[in-house]
């Protein structure tokens, strides 16, 4: 299997994130999306994890299915919350036996803090009692002991909501990254936030690759949800989306959202980002349109 650390060492990576389907309808949507996005030849794809026996199995099945039946390179998410050390070790060993070598190690939020949709890299916590591990760095350490994994961790450009201050957040992130291979950020909307994150990590002596997480805003209805999911949409961006609605309704809002996401991608790449990670919400069209706009896959249709 291809290791993400090796891909990043070779050059820019472009990746997508999905969440495991809970129903036949969601499965059909995801299958259609995978068919649409596989021709883009993403460097890798990641699959979120919400914990609990049923969700654990869905994530495992999706990741191993991608590994054995598609050309995609999958990465499995795993969270500390509501798992014992033994359970986590068993999950890691099962992945290793299945040939899955790429892992996103997350602390996981308490159940009441979960964001909808499985979109953010730091989310994915199940319900139930707290687990024996409390921080992602402990899960990274466990995965290193078991061995064989290329390990990613989450980064928050404006700081994790549980951090008392930004300086503390950066110190914890630097500690994780010294043990891990790379990070993927929570989605954000201003390139300056990503640039500041990278500069502050460099000041702490950490230069591991940090992939920016990109979430296109394709409707005004989604704006309030973004703050609940950890990253508020800035006022200037809301103004552009509202102006688009006045010009041409929902279709214009969607087009403006794709333009905004494309501009953000261009800005972070210009800053030296080692690639892009797209939160797809199990849909394909916005991601494909951004790919076209960036010149990454200009021959692909935007239909669907």
Q: What does 190-234 look like in DSSP terms, one character per residue?
A: -HHHHHHHHHHHHHTT----EEEEE-----GGGHHHHHHTT-PPP
State how far the Cα of 85 lies from the Cα of 29, in Å rounded to an integer: 35
Burial of residue 304 (number of CB atoms within 10 Å: 0-12, 13-18, 19+):
exposed
- Cβ atoms of 81 and 125 within 8 Å: the answer is yes
Domain ranges of the chain: 4-294
pLDDT at 109: 63
Q: Which of the following is catalytic: 17, 190, 256, 289?
A: 17
CA-wise closest residue to 154 among 177, 133, 129: 177
Q: Which two tokens stand for residue 250?
A: 């929902």
The total number of residues written for the chain in this structure? 304
CB-based burial, 234-272: b 16+ in 10 Å, e otherwise = eeebeebbeebbeeeeeeebbebbbbbbbebbebbbeee
Q: What is the mean pLDDT of each run of 10 residues along the chain (304 residues)?
A: 94 94 88 89 91 79 91 93 88 95 86 39 41 88 95 95 91 96 97 97 97 95 88 95 96 96 97 96 91 75 41
- Cβ atoms of 146 and 96 within 8 Å: the answer is yes
| Residue in the block written with tokens 């309704």 | 249
Given the candidates 3.40.50.300, 3.20.20.220, 3.90.320.10, 3.30.1300.10, the CATH classification of the domain at 4-294 is: 3.20.20.220
pLDDT at 235: 95
- Cβ atoms of 196 and 211 within 8 Å: the answer is no
Look up 17 and say whether it is catalytic. Answer: yes
| Residue in the block written with tokens 């809970």 | 22
State how far the Cα of 43 lies from the Cα of 54, in Å rounded to an integer: 28
13, containing H or E segment: strand 13-18
State how far the Cα of 64 lies from the Cα of 280, in Å rounded to an integer: 20
Q: Residue ranges of the alpha helices (H) in the chain?
A: 4-10, 24-37, 52-69, 85-98, 136-146, 166-179, 191-203, 223-228, 235-270, 285-294
State how far the Cα of 230 lies from the Cα of 269, in Å rounded to an integer: 23
- Cβ atoms of 304 and 36 within 8 Å: the answer is yes
């Amino acid at each position: 299997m291809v290791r993400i650390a090796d891909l990043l060492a070779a050059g820019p990576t472009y990746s997508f994130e999905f969440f495991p389907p809970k129903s036949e309808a969601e499965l059909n949507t995801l299958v259609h999306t995978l068919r649409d996005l596989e021709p883009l030849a993403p460097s890798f794809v990641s699959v979120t994890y919400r914990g609990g026996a049923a969700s654990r199995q869905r994530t495992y099945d999706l990741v191993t299915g991608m590994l054995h039946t598609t050309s995609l390179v999958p990465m499995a998410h795993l969270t500390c919350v509501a798992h014992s050390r033994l359970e986590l070790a068993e999950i890691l060993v099962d992945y290793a036996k299945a040939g899955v070598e790429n892992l996103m190690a997350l602390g996981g939020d308490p159940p009441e803090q979960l964001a909808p949709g499985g979109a953010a890299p730091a989310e994915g916590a199940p319900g139930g009692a707290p687990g024996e591990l409390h921080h992602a760095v402990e899960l990274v350490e466990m995965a290193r002991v078991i061995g064989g994994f290329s390990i990613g961790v989450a980064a928050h450009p404006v700081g994790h909501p549980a951090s008392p201050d930004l300086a503390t957040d950066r110190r914890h992130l630097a500690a994780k990254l010294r043990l891990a291979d790379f990070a993927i950020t929570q989605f954000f909307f201003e390139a300056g936030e990503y640039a500041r994150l990278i500069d502050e990590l460099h000041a702490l002596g950490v230069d591991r690759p940090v992939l920016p997480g990109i979430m296109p805003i394709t409707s005004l209805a989604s704006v309030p949800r973004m703050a609940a999911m950890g990253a508020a949409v800035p006022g200037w961006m809301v103004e552009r989306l509202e102006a688009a609605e006045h010009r041409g309704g929902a279709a214009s809002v969607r087009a403006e959202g794709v333009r905004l996401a494309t501009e953000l991608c261009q800005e972070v790449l210009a800053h030296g980002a080692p690639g892009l990670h797209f939160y797809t919400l199990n849909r394909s069209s916005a991601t494909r349109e951004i790919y076209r706009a960036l010149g990454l896959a200009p021959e692909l249709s935007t239909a669907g």
